[in-house]
Amino acid sequence: MSELNTAMVEKYRNSFLKEVEANVEEGDWVKMCMQCGVCSGSCPFGPHWAHPPQEIFMMIRAGKREEVLTSDSMWMCTSCYNCVVRCPRELPITHIMHGLANYAHRLGIAPKEQPTRKFATLFWKNLAKKGRVNELTLGLGLYFMNGIGPGIKTALKMKNIGLGMMKTKRMNPMEILGGHGCKDVSGLHAILAKAREIEDAKMKKFAG
Amino acid sequence: MAKKQYSFYPGCSSQKAASSSNYLVSVQSMCDELDIELNEIPDWNCCAASIGYAEGGELPRLALSARNMALSEQANPGQDIVATCAACWLSTKETQERLHGDSDLMKETNEALAAAGLKVKADQNVRHMVEVLIEDFGYDELGKHVKKPLEGIKIAGYVGCQTNRPFGIVGESYENPKYLDKLVETMGAEPVEKYDKKVQCCGGALAFSEPEKSQALIKDIIEAAYDGGADMIVTPCPVCQMNVEVYQDHINAKYNTKFKMPVVYYSTLMSVAYGKNAKEAALDGHIVRAKKLEDIANK
């Protein structure tokens, strides 16, 4: 969606904050951050963020569009909600991070090789196919998401865990043939397509 | 007590031969004893958990939970929706709050649902099974059903994230929730006092995409349980259970530890204490076997 990216740059040339407010889930909360840093200090993956949430909020207000959207920081969110319950201003930080990651992903400028981005994409495609997650194909997809070579290596490393899961009947090799799913798959697909259509139309309207 | 009925959202991981199928088995045994009837939402779908956001975005993601609520309203009107999975509960409850707090979102969601002839009001309560136990039964009532107290077992109550934040259980703090400890005590076992990693994140879905970083967190969760003298860990969340149980060999190889810590569900403990056998408590569904529970169940 790089055309959309160009359109957004044009439209919001002077204010990345306004762009975030209009297009990012819960983005209208960003201006409320008071820079106390409790979120950054509370994050279990804190040391792995190039820019922890507090910094991301300030960077948005400082107009650092490129740095924020191409950062792999938001992709470090484990959805533990520590920051949300501790934030004195009650910002829904987890959802803002998800929203920023999703926005960067839709614009096509999120880091290509980011593993959580890849896994999250696999996860959604997996669940959307039949309405329920197929854990076997999801796991295999994860092992091989970086190609055949690394995939075989990971699969070997994970072999004993897989065997343990099968032995305890918590994984079924037959899931490869399709496995669980909703009965009304076409209805589910229609709902998702309509929801996506509404969301895309809104973003196009904002892009102007 | 009269039979209690709920509209049940089991979730993907609880399905036959899926990663928390053992959870569902023990929940059913527990509910059987407590005379709880779980009416499954017909044709329910995945909630997108906490990782679907990247590709799914906002409205498609919320529409997934809205479809489940719409189906629940049709099939099980007037009943509370109950989930056993932390992520299922969180997504559904979040969607309900968002729809009620934003009329545009409610309109758009119903526009999407209409594509499959559905409509949502989102007026059923959305609850975690733990809330049902604590609020609709209470510790005293839960204790009355104990036939085989779990004597001599010390258990670390690992609450984790998503049954605790952002919603939590009424009356509990986010930083030091005590309901698992109280449940452990009610079943006749001994809770680990001051289990400092009780609300520490296990990495969640990022255990898959960022295994090294997540396993560093998991190591601390298990180590603190050992430090407290625990025989096993108990949790209310399928992701916590799996993450903390299955990577122990990898953690041992990397950190030179000798972890072999069983990780069970509250429903596992309750099934055993309620006199169910090992199979009914799904003790055969654990990679690290909970030997002390097996001994009691086989007695």
Q: Does B270 map to a domain? A: yes
Question: In this structure, what token pair is assigned to residue B257?
Answer: 């530890």
Q: Does A132 map to a domain? A: yes
Q: Does B287 map to a domain? A: yes
Tell me: the pLDDT tens digits for A85-112?
A: 999 999 999 999 999 999 999 999 999 9
Measure A99 CA to nearest chain B CA, in Å.
Answer: 7
Locate the chain B residue with the closest alpha carbon to A124.
B52
CB contact under 8 A, A171 and B19: yes
Residues of A within 8 A of B20 (CB-CB) are 170
- Whether B166 and B277 map to the same domain: the answer is yes
CB contact under 8 A, B112 and A195: yes
Q: To the nearest 10°, report the CA torsion of A46, A58, A2, A131.
A: 50
- Whether A80 and A133 map to the same domain: the answer is no
Q: Does B190 map to a domain? A: yes
Average pLDDT over all residues of chain A: 93
Question: Do residues B17 and A171 touch, judged by C-beta distance below 8 A?
Answer: yes
Q: Does A204 map to a domain? A: no
- Whether A19 and A103 map to the same domain: the answer is yes
- Whether B213 and B291 map to the same domain: the answer is yes
**pTM to 2 decimals?**
0.96
Question: In whole angstroms, what is the distance from residue B66 CA to residue B58 CA?
Answer: 12
Q: Between chain A and chain B, how many beta carbons pairs sit less than 8 Å apart? A: 212
- Identify which of B70, B93, B68 has the alpha carbon closest to the alpha carbon of residue B10: B68
| Domain end residue (candidates: A97, A112, A127) | A112
Statement: residue A1 has pLDDT above 60 = no
- Whether B204 and B293 map to the same domain: the answer is yes
Question: In whole angstroms, what is the distance from residue B124 CA to residue B9 CA?
Answer: 13
Rg, chain B, Cα only: 19
Question: In whole angstroms, what is the distance from residue B263 CA to residue B267 CA?
Answer: 12
Strand partners, B37: B5
Q: How far is CA B55 from CA A101, A126, B196, in A?
A: 9, 11, 35
- Whether A18 and A103 map to the same domain: the answer is yes
Enumerate residues 6+ apart whose C-beta is below 8 A from B87: B11, B47, B49, B50, B162, B237, B238, B239
Q: Does B16 map to a domain? A: yes
Question: Do residues A92 and B24 touch, judged by C-beta distance below 8 A?
Answer: no
- Whether B95 and B203 map to the same domain: the answer is no
Residue numbers of the domain that contains B55: 4-129
Residues of B within 8 A of A78 (CB-CB) are 161, 201, 203-206, 214
pLDDT of residue B245: 98
CB contact under 8 A, A198 and B284: no
pLDDT of residue A208: 63
More confident residue, B121 or A14: B121
Q: Does A79 map to a domain? A: yes
Measure B58 CA to nearest chain A CA, in Å.
Answer: 7
Nearest CB to B43; choose among A118, A160, A183: A183
Q: In what helix (H) or strand (E) does residue B20 lie, and over which residues does it extend?
A: none
- Whether A8 and A106 map to the same domain: the answer is yes
Nearest CB to A115; choose among B53, B114, B210: B210
pLDDT band of residue A177 (cuts 50, 70, 90) is confident
Mean pLDDT in order along chain B per 10 residues (299 residues): 91 94 98 98 97 94 98 98 98 97 97 98 97 98 98 98 94 96 98 97 96 98 98 98 97 98 98 98 97 97
- Whether B283 and B163 map to the same domain: the answer is yes
Residues of A within 8 A of B113 (CB-CB) are 191
What CATH number did the domain enclosing A61 receive?
1.10.1060.10
- Whether A108 and A145 map to the same domain: the answer is no
Question: In this structure, what token pair is assigned to residue A177?
Answer: 């043939």
- Whether B160 and B242 map to the same domain: the answer is yes
Q: Does B134 map to a domain? A: no
Enumerate residues 6+ apart whose C-beta is below 8 A from B209: A115, A116, A118, A119, A120, A142
Beta strands B36-40 and B81-83 are unpaired
Statement: residue A14 has pLDDT above 80 = no
| Domain end residue (candidates: A112, A135, A170) | A112
Question: Do residues B239 and B270 touch, judged by C-beta distance below 8 A?
Answer: no
Number of domains in chain A: 2
CB contact under 8 A, A191 and B287: no
Residues of B within 8 A of A4 (CB-CB) are none
Residue numbers of the domain that contains A175: 115-195
CB contact under 8 A, B285 and A131: no
Phi-psi region of A169 (alpha: psi -120 to 50; beta: other; left: phi over 0): left
Measure A86 CA to nearest chain B CA, in Å.
Answer: 9
pLDDT band of residue A206 (cuts 50, 70, 90) is confident
**Residue A30 CA to chain centroid, in angstroms?**
18
Question: Do residues A69 and A100 touch, judged by C-beta distance below 8 A?
Answer: yes
Q: Does A182 map to a domain? A: yes
CB contact under 8 A, B57 and A81: no
- Whether B97 and B20 map to the same domain: the answer is yes
Tell me: the pLDDT tens digits for A32-69?
A: 999 999 999 999 999 999 999 999 999 999 999 999 99
What CATH number did the domain enclosing B27 receive?
1.20.1050.140
CB contact under 8 A, B53 and A119: no
Q: In what helix (H) or strand (E) does residue B170 lie, and over which residues does it extend?
A: none
Q: Does A12 map to a domain? A: yes
CB contact under 8 A, A168 and B16: no
Max CA distance (Å), chain A: 59
More confident residue, B188 or A173: B188
Residues of A within 8 A of B91 (CB-CB) are none
Question: Do residues B292 and B231 touch, judged by C-beta distance below 8 A?
Answer: yes
Q: To the nearest 10°, report the CA torsion of A113, A76, B102, B43.
A: 70
Measure A45 CA to nearest chain B CA, in Å.
Answer: 7
Residues of A within 8 A of B116 (CB-CB) are 184, 187-188, 190-191
- Whether A76 and A121 map to the same domain: the answer is no
- Whether B174 and B245 map to the same domain: the answer is yes
Q: Which of A133, A134, A174, A184 would you mutate first to test chain B, the one with the most B CBs within 10 A?
A: A133
Nearest CB to A81; choose among B44, B161, B203: B161
Q: To the nearest 10°, report the CA torsion of B120, B77, B163, B255.
A: -90
What CATH number did the domain enclosing B259 receive?
3.40.50.11810
- Identify which of B143, B137, B105, B139 has the alpha carbon closest to the alpha carbon of residue B122: B105
Number of domains in chain B: 2
Q: Does A190 map to a domain? A: yes
Nearest CB to A187; choose among B52, B116, B209: B116
- Whether B114 and B21 map to the same domain: the answer is yes
- Whether A104 and A181 map to the same domain: the answer is no
pLDDT of residue A198: 97
